[in-house]
Amino acid sequence: MIAPEQYPVLIVTVPLLSAFLINLIGMVDKRLCYPASLLALGASLAAALAVAARVAATGTIHYHVGNWPPPFGIEYVIDHLNALVLVVVAGVALVAAIASKRSVEQDFPDKRAQFYTLFVLLTTGLLGMTITGDAFNLYVLMEISALTNYSLIAMGGNRALVGGFNYIIIGTIGACFYLLGVGHLYIMTGSLNMADLLQLLPALFHTKAVLVGAILMLLGAWIKMAFFPLHGWLPNAYTYAPSATSTLVAPLMTKVSVYIMIRVLFSVFGAYYVFTVLPVKGLVVWLAVAAIVGGSIFALAQQDFKRMLTYLIVAEVGYMVGGVWLANQWGITGAILHIVNDAVMTLCLFLFCGIVVHKTRGHRLENLRGLFRRMPVTMAAFAVGALSMIGVPPTAGFFSKWYLILGGIDAHQWGFVAALLFSSLVNAVLFFRVFEIAYFEPAEEVHGHGAAVAIDEAPLSMLLPLVAVAIGLIVLGLYSTSLVSTFIQYAVPAGI
Amino acid sequence: MIWQFDFIILALALICAVASISLKDLLSAAIVFGAYSFVMCLLWTEMGAVDVAFTEAAVGAGVSTVFFLAAVLHTSRQVKPRRHGRFFYKFIGAAAALAIGGVLLAASADFPTWGDPASPASIHVSPHYIINTIPDTAVPNVVTSVLADYRGFDTMFETSVIFVAGLAVLAILGRFGRRTRDEAPAEFAAVPVAGQSPIIQAACRIMVPFMQLFALYVLAHGHHSPGGGFQGGVILAASFILIAISYDLRAMIGRLRERWNMVFASLGVMIYAGTGALCLLLGANFLDYSVLHRILPATSPIMARSHGMLAVEVGVCFTVMAVMVLIYVNIASHGKSDKGL
Amino acid sequence: MAMAEIFAKYNYWIYITLMMIGLYAMIAKGNLAKKIIGMSIFQTAIIVFYVSIGAKKGGATIPIIAHGHEGAEHVVRAIDYVNPLPHVLMLTAIVVGVATLGVALAIAMSIYERYGSMEEEEILERIRE
């Protein structure tokens, strides 16, 4: 059978091949698409776990596609950083797929085959972006995940179309900037392989072309992750996207883009260049502060629950970018841990949002009225996610925030520390307002009946993933130190 | 390279670009944009990028323009004059363009001289491909060997991008749940539709077989001359689109049904990824075609690479052909797949 | 600046100009079709850049190895052929370009069907109603 040396490529190619099969299966029977997607994503997750275990045991793995040695062929490089991110991406995608059943049946019953094919291909794109060690291969995968994402959003119709169109325009600018940045490095060095570039670039650190290449690649990643002030596309695109889409893309797209930023910074340019030569260090931390404060304030102003969550994503991106540019052990550890934690937290919140949309056909704050009585288990699971967003121990959100604050103190970036505390405060206000609405305000249709509200829980296919993710948040919190000691401490570049 | 010629082409490209974004009539803008692509295609031939030029001619100047025309005919033809001047966006746009332009100009000062044979890009990785393509793969067209073998993994995803585009257009525009969708009239519309010239129809009918033959030649001969799966696929698609334009869409769907189209699109990428997976099952790395010599009779590992490339090019051709037709059908008929251009 | 220097770099200047035109159109134009044209120009600008990287002066020809009937008897020199790698990369970029174009047109057409306009302002007005 297939040797364990081949597992890295399976993480990407199994969902890829399955996606085309799902499309064909859908022509025969639409109902089979859902289990087929689960199978594909499950297999991918299993391969990712096996690879992560091997990385933890033996260190970085290289895989040469087509058996061509780099820099001539395309190489997969799995180190401690992307081994972790791969598991997160595959895991989150699987959970989002499980929960998508009812939403998809409700929103587009006739387009199930198309939806699941695009869904699995989007996951393939994200996994491929994460695993590759080739700067151009990353661009191609970036376009796969982007195109699938545009269309999955636009499938929502109406306002989602407008949001999707803006996203195409801005997303294309982002991807093109990245491609142009790669072009600048290519014209100066003649190579596309990240490890090779890391060797060749130090001799060219003084050139403006490399500087511009770095800035273009960063701009590309920032546009893709909606980093302030390039975040304009995100709220509309994610708010009006179908629930099944936003459950997948909201936790993953921004986080994978943050990973891309870290990968490009440290595996192509190297920490010395990024923090010593590149003259943007102070600026980026202040932009991160603006992202956190701005995202939180905008979230506070929303009357629409889902839109509020999208602004929280903007704020969370500020956490991670700021953490990286703190340029110390704590900050980068916090940023990487936050990629994991934030993916799971956002998944939890958007799963809940999916349930709300499924049950009440809306995602405004008033749709939440009376939900504590109607859906106690759902609300309890949501509460865990909300506490994690606020940063209450022992949920996962607390630990990454703790590392980030330590990093901020260590780097004397008091503005960043203040922004983190401010954002926790705002999150507390936000979520307690949500709890208040859901607990005290009775649902309109049962007004007058008082406590006599029948329990009407979400369907199991949506409830179980939510509960599992909520438990996962606590488990992640409890085991965050071992996560740091097994994976993240090796992912932080040496010499900082 | 003749710099006078270069200069004229580049000037034309700039003129076409400015014209296509400033013309108020969108139909003209689309046609000028087609001209822009054609000028680009000349530029690339002139710089020796024949495969790129071929693809641009087929994709950019060919099907893209047709997609655009079809879309414009279904929406509004004119850009409306605005009540408010969009000054804010114009300002942001100009500022962003100037900022990026300035930064890029600054960077270009460090670039090696254009066409310098000793530039890093010319001496670091690429000579390896030029020198080793014959010993490694027995394919003289270096672009093909890099595309389908050395960097074949990129191309697999590139084909998937095409597949995604087709599926996305179908998912966004397509109307589902109607039984009539695949029931295109079986009989070929021999009676000319009013307003369509029988001369054009007859001419197109004669051209189509030659186009398809040429497409197959381009596909099969991609190892030795410019061309390959992409170009062949686009030309095949163009032949079907030509039927749709000269007769009507039903005539074309009668020959290539939508359902089969989707099957072809999936099948194409599956041939590609499946070839890769086959190498995996034979114990080699993904897409390492040389291992295929074990199952192909009378081949060396080197020739196996050549044959492997042909297999994936066929896959690419399938997908590209099917998806281009699919996009055209959905755009031209606004997702209804019946009437339309 | 010396004449020689101008001729040495003009390809890069043209790509920068095209890129600026495309970027301006994407942001400043209110008509969705114009935005899409701008996007395509923006993408081709990058292709001009990459293909220019691949060019070699001094007698280099297209990257198809000249060979006899019985394989290569003569020595293949890299300097005789233009750099094929940027061509391969840009084939991908062209394909990505047409894919993006198709999806963007499909979304624009659906927007037109739903809101009856291709102008950004009018669409936003109709959303507010």
**Residue B47 contacts residue C82 (beta carbons within 8 Å):** yes
Q: Which residues of B192-211 are buried (b: 16+ CB within 10 A; e: fewer)?
A: eeeeeeeeebeebeeebeeb
Higher pLDDT: A493 or A153? It is A153
pLDDT at A452: 55
Q: Measuring CA to CA, which residue among B63, B78, B76 is closest to residue B33?
A: B63
Q: Is residue B340 predicted with pLDDT exceeding 80?
A: no
Least CB–CB distance from A147: residue in C43, C103, C111: C103
Mean pLDDT calculated for residue range A316-321? 93
Task: Give the bridge partners for A63, in sequence order.
Answer: A76
By the 8 A CB rule, do B1 and C55 touch? yes
Which residues from chain A sit within 8 angstroms of residue C117, using beta carbons?
Answer: none
| Beta carbons within 8 Å of B106's beta carbon, 6+ residues apart | A208, A212
Backbone angles phi, psi at B25, to 5 degrees: -90, 115
**Greater pLDDT, A443 or A230:** A230
Q: Quick: pLDDT tens for C88-103.
A: 999 999 999 999 999 9
A327-348, pLDDT tens digit by residue? Answer: 888 999 999 999 999 999 999 9
- Per-residue pLDDT, averaged over A281-296, amounts to 91
Of 3.30.360.10, 3.30.300.180, 1.10.287.3510, 1.10.287.1080, the CATH number of C7-58+77-128 is 1.10.287.3510
Rounded distance between C-alpha atoms, residue A127 and residue A82, angstroms: 9
Please tell me whether residue C31 adopts helix, strand or coil conformation: strand
A 5-64: CB under 8 A from B:
6, 9, 13, 16-17, 20-21, 23-24, 27, 63-64
**Residues of chain C found within 8 Å of residue A192, distances taken between Cβ atoms:** 85
Q: Are A455 and A375 in contact (CB under 8 A)?
A: yes
Q: Say what the pLDDT of residue B187 is.
A: 36
Residue B200 has which token pair?
């054009």
Residues of chain B contacting residue A140, judged by C-beta atoms under 8 Å apart:
154, 157-158, 161
Chain B CB contacts of A22 below 8 Å: none
Is A76 within a domain?
A: no
The rounded mean pLDDT for chain A is 89
Q: Is residue A8 part of a domain?
A: no
Q: Residues A24, A26, A28, CA angle at the centre, nearest 5°? A: 85
Q: Helix A135-154 vs helix B152-173: angle between axes, to the nearest 10 degrees?
A: 10
Chains that touch C (3 or more CB pairs under 8 A): A, B
Architecture of domain B1-81 in this structure: Up-down Bundle (1.20)
C53: closest CA of chain A, how far (Å): 6
pLDDT for the residue A368: 80
Window from A88-97, A435-444, B193-202 with minimum mean pLDDT: B193-202
Neighbours of B189 (CB within 10 A): 17
Residue spans per domain, chain C:
7-58+77-128
- What count of other Cβ atoms lies within 10 Å of the Cβ of residue B239? 21
Question: Distance (Å, rounded) from C-alpha B317 to C-alpha B310?
Answer: 10
Q: CA–CA distance from A293 to each of A14, A316, A319, A425 (Å)?
A: 41, 10, 10, 11
Provide the number of CB pairs (under 8 Å) joining chain B to chain C.
310
Q: How many domains does chain A have?
A: 1
Helical H segments across chain B, by residue range: 3-22, 26-46, 50-55, 65-74, 87-108, 120-123, 126-137, 142-145, 152-173, 198-220, 229-246, 249-255, 258-281, 301-332
Average pLDDT of span C112-123: 86
Q: What is the rounded CA–CA span in Å between residue C104 and residue A161? A: 10
In A79-111, where does DSSP find H-type helix? 80-107
Q: C123–A158: do the CB atoms touch at under 8 Å?
A: no
Residue B83's pLDDT band, with cuts at 50, 70 and 90, is low
Q: Residue A168's pLDDT is what?
A: 93
Among partner residues A136, A168, A173, which is closest to C107 by beta-carbon distance? A168
Phi-psi region of B115 (alpha: psi -120 to 50; beta: other; left: phi over 0): left
Q: What is the pLDDT of residues A34-65, one digit of tens each?
A: 999 999 999 999 999 999 999 999 989 999 98
Helix (H) or strand (E) holding A414: helix A414-440
| Structural domain boundaries enclosing A382 | 282-496
C8 — pLDDT class (breaks 50, 70, 90): low
Candidates B301, B324, B306; CA nearest to B220 is B306
Q: What whole-number distance in Å separates Cα of residue C35 and Cα of residue C39? A: 6
Q: Output the pLDDT for position A341.
A: 93
In a domain, A392, yes or no: yes
Least confident range from A254-258, A278-282, A461-465, A471-475: namely A278-282
Interchain contact C38–B (C-beta under 8 A): yes
Whether the CB of A4 is below 8 Å from some CB of chain B: the reply is no
What is the average pLDDT across B316-331?
A: 91
Q: Which residues of A touch C127 (CB under 8 A)?
A: 159, 162
More confident residue, B226 or A1: B226
Whole-number Å distance between alpha carbons of A370 and A184: 56
**Could you tell me which of C82, C32, C38, C86 has the C-alpha nearest to residue C59?**
C82
Q: CA A230, CA B55: separation in Å to the nearest integer?
A: 34
Query: Among B16, B38, B51, which would you mutate to test the C interface (most chain C Cβ atoms within 10 Å of its Cβ)?
Result: B51
Tell me, rounded to whole angstroms, the distance of Cα C119 from its chain centroid. Answer: 25
Task: For chain B, give every domain's residue range.
Answer: 1-81, 82-117, 125-341
**pLDDT exceeds 50 at position A390:** yes
Which A residues in the span 156-215 are in contact with B, Cβ-Cβ below 8 Å? Answer: 161, 180, 184, 186-192, 200, 207-213, 215
CA-derived radius of gyration, chain C:
22
Distance from CA of A351 to the nearest CA of C (A): 27
Q: Do B157 and A20 touch (CB under 8 A)?
A: no
B191 touches chain C (CB under 8 A): no
In the Cβ-directed half-sphere of B242, how many Cα atoms lie within 13 Å? 20
SS3 A400: helix
Which of A148 and A453 is assigned the larger pLDDT?
A: A148
CB contact under 8 A, C107 and A186: no
Does the beta-carbon distance from C127 to A150 stay under 8 Å? Answer: no
Residue-wise pLDDT tens digits, A178-219: 999 999 999 999 999 999 999 999 898 888 899 999 999 999
CA distance A154 to chain C (A): 7
What is the count of residue pairs from A and C with beta carbons less than 8 Å apart? 69
Residue type, A167: Y
Instruction: Determine whether the interchain pair B48/C86 forms a contact, defined as Cβ–Cβ distance below 8 Å.
Output: no
Q: 3-class SS at B31? A: helix
Contacts of C78 in chain B (CB under 8 A): 122-123, 126-127, 130-131
Q: What pLDDT is stored for residue C74 in this prediction?
A: 65
Which residue does chain C place closest to B168, by CA atoms?
C103
Cβ-contact B61, B52 below 8 angstroms: no
DSSP lists the bridge partners of residue A132 as A76
Tell me, yes or no, if B289 comes closer than 8 A to chain A by beta carbon.
yes
Q: Are A86 and A130 in contact (CB under 8 A)?
A: yes
**What is the 8-class DSSP label of residue A134?**
B
Average pLDDT over residues B1-5: 71
pLDDT given for residue B70 in this prediction: 87
- The CA-to-CA distance between both ends of chain B, in Å, stands at 41
Angle in degrees, 0-180, between the axes of helices C32-54 and C85-115, rounded to the nearest 10: 180
The least confident of B130-134, B150-154, B308-312, C75-79 is: C75-79
Q: Which of A350, A355, A369, A362 is nearest to A457 (CA)?
A: A355
Largest CA distance in chain C: 75
- The Cα B199–Cα A181 span in angstroms is 51
d(C-alpha B66, C-alpha B63), whole Å: 5
Neighbours of chain B (3+ CB pairs under 8 A): A, C
State whether C26 and A164 contact (CB < 8 Å): no
The tokens for A369 are 């009225």
Q: What is the token pair recorded at B80?
A: 């409306």
Name the residue in chain A with its Cα closest to that of B158. Answer: A140
- Asked if the model's pLDDT at residue B191 lies above 50, the reply is no
What percentage of residues in chain B have a pLDDT greater than 70? 89
Predicted confidence band at C57 (pLDDT cuts at 50, 70, 90)?
Answer: confident
Rounded to whole angstroms, the Cα distance separating C27 from B205 reads 43
pLDDT band at B184 (very low <50, low <70, confident <90, very high): very low
Amino acid at A219: L
Task: Please give the torsion angle defined by the CA atoms of residues A447, A448, A450 and A456, in that order, rounded to the nearest 10 degrees.
Answer: -40
pLDDT at residue C45 greater than cutoff 80: yes
Interface test with B, best of A2, A12, A16 (most B CBs within 10 A): A16
Q: What is the pTM of this model?
A: 0.94
Q: Do the domain assignments include residue A143?
A: no
Nearest to A165 among C85, C89, C107 (CB): C107
Task: Report chain B residues whose CB lies below 8 A from the CB of A9.
Answer: 280, 285-286
Residue listed under structure tokens 């507010």: C128
Instruction: Flag if C27 and B72 touch (Cβ within 8 Å).
Output: no
Q: What does the pLDDT read at residue C1?
A: 44
The rounded distance, in Å, linking the Cα atoms of A354 and B304 is 50
Chain A residues touching residue B289 (CB < 8 angstroms): 66
Under a CB-based contact definition with an 8 Å cutoff, are residues A201 and A180 in contact? Answer: no
Q: Is the separation of the CB atoms in C25 and B21 below 8 Å?
A: yes
Which residues lie across from C64 on neighbouring strands?
A: B141
**Partners of A193 in beta bridges:** A134
How far out from the chain centre does Cα A147 lie? 17
Q: How far is B324 from chain C (nearest CA, A)?
A: 9
Residues 56-75 of B with CB under 8 A from A: none
Instruction: Tell me the DSSP string of A25-45.
Output: HHHH-GGGHHHHHHHHHHHHH
Instruction: Give Cα A393 distance to the centre of its chain.
Output: 22
Residue type, B337: S
CA torsion angle C24 C25 C30 C35 (round to 10): -140
Task: Give the lowest-confidence range in A125-129, A430-434, B155-159, B198-202.
Answer: B198-202
Q: Is B225 in CB contact (< 8 Å) with chain C? A: yes
Q: What is the DSSP code string of A428-469?
A: HHHHHHHHHHHHHSPPGGGTTSTT-PPP-PPPHHHHHHHHHH
Q: How far apart are CA B303 and CA B81, in angstroms?
A: 61
CB B231, CB B286: distance < 8 Å: no
